[in-house]
Amino acid sequence: MKVIVIGGGPAGMMSAITASQNGNEVILLEKMERLGRKLLITGKGRCNITSSLPIQEFIQNIPGNGQFLYSAFNNYTNTDIINFLKSEGLEVKEERGKRIFPITDKSLDVLKCFEKKLKALNVKIEYNAEVVSIKKDLDRFEVELKNGTILNSNKVIIATGGKSYPLTGSTGDGYKLAKQLGHTVTQIKPSLVPFEAYDKKTCKELQGLSLKNVGIEFKDIEKNKVIYEDFGEMLFTHFGVSGPTIKNIDELLKNKKIILKIDFKPALSEEKLDKRILRDFDEEKNKELKHSLDKLLPKKLIPVIIEKSEINPEKRVNEITKQERKILVNLLKNFELEISKFRPIEEAIITSGGRY
């Protein structure tokens, strides 16, 4: 059978490999000048390939109802992708949070495995081949490229990705193509998307500060209720906050005033944090407050915390009162930023919805 795969991201490349291994004649159409452009930027260029968690936990981590992915996850598991990469010569390693990365820390090496396999299977790849329409006539498909070329096949696989990071080629074309074939496409939404905070001054001061182990909590101000909590990495940007811990909560945010509460020291209780601060102060009693928190906090955070505490930054630490320490502890455990809005889908890590 002749199979056309549209889109040369990880999904399209793997579909082309599988279709070819099953004895089909495969053409892979990619609208960019190379394959896997989004794959190259994943995991900050290191590609977080998969996780070693059990499949049931994959499903629990999908926002909304992830059960519809049960059979896909079971048909091709985390072990399968690891074994595929190993068979192409790439070893992997496990990092904190059960995340799996290539041993070389390079997403390019993951892409090379796919390209190697496609070559070995003689899959025909067309670059700069943007599909603009698909027509179905009985059991034949007619696929039209932007340059006017018409290709025919028995089967078509649409693997055009989502709508985020459009410069990588993912511009949401697949939704339009699926509609042309009569599929219903549900509303698409940004997921894992950065958001803006009202307090731009604080964000500008903290811009670029990347934190590895923080606790976050989204709180509905009106109901005084925590609606989402997580633990992990985050990054301050000039407009707000971004990072893997900030998952899609837009459903929950409708018509609500939301505060993001950050716990900069989740491993320490308030009591333990107070003792730790006291110990640091005791070691250098005559130091000014502004010079005394560098063992505990990243440099960028110190002036922000001191300003918010309203304690004189030049005050000697042996003059800091118990009450002032309490204010510092409270700021470090309950740092608050009010969310003004989410950034657009183009900046999301993932597109959710759309199922066709």
CB atoms within 10 A of CB 10: 21
Q: Which of 18, 24, 25, 42 binds ligand FAD (CB under 6 A)?
A: 42
Q: Which region, judged by CB under 6 A, interacts with ligand FAD, from 36-44, 63-71, 264-272, 334-342? A: 36-44
Q: Which of 38, 117, 189, 265 binds ligand FAD (CB under 6 A)?
A: 38
Q: Does 7 bind ligand FAD (CB under 6 A)?
A: yes
Site string for ligand FAD, 153-182 (x = CB under 6 A): ------xxx--xx---xx--x---------
Our CB check for ligand FAD shows the closer of 43 and 232 to be: 43
Our CB check for ligand FAD shows the closer of 38 and 333 to be: 38
What does the alpha-carbon distance between residue 307 and residue 301 come to, in Å, rounded to a whole number? 10
Our CB check for ligand FAD shows the closer of 44 and 272 to be: 44
Our CB check for ligand FAD shows the closer of 194 and 264 to be: 194
Collapsing DSSP to helix, strand or coil, 45 comes out as: helix
Site string for ligand FAD, 96-115 (x = CB under 6 A): --------------------
Q: Which two tokens stand for residue 221?
A: 């101000």
**What amino acid occupies position 351?**
T
H-only helix segments in the chain: 10-21, 37-41, 55-60, 70-75, 78-87, 107-120, 173-180, 200-206, 250-253, 270-283, 301-309, 322-333
Collapsing DSSP to helix, strand or coil, 342 comes out as: strand
Of 194, 191, 136, 179, residue with least CA distance to 355 = 179
List contacts with ligand FAD (CB under 6 A): 6-12, 29-32, 37-39, 41-43, 47-48, 129-131, 159-161, 164-165, 169-170, 173, 349-350
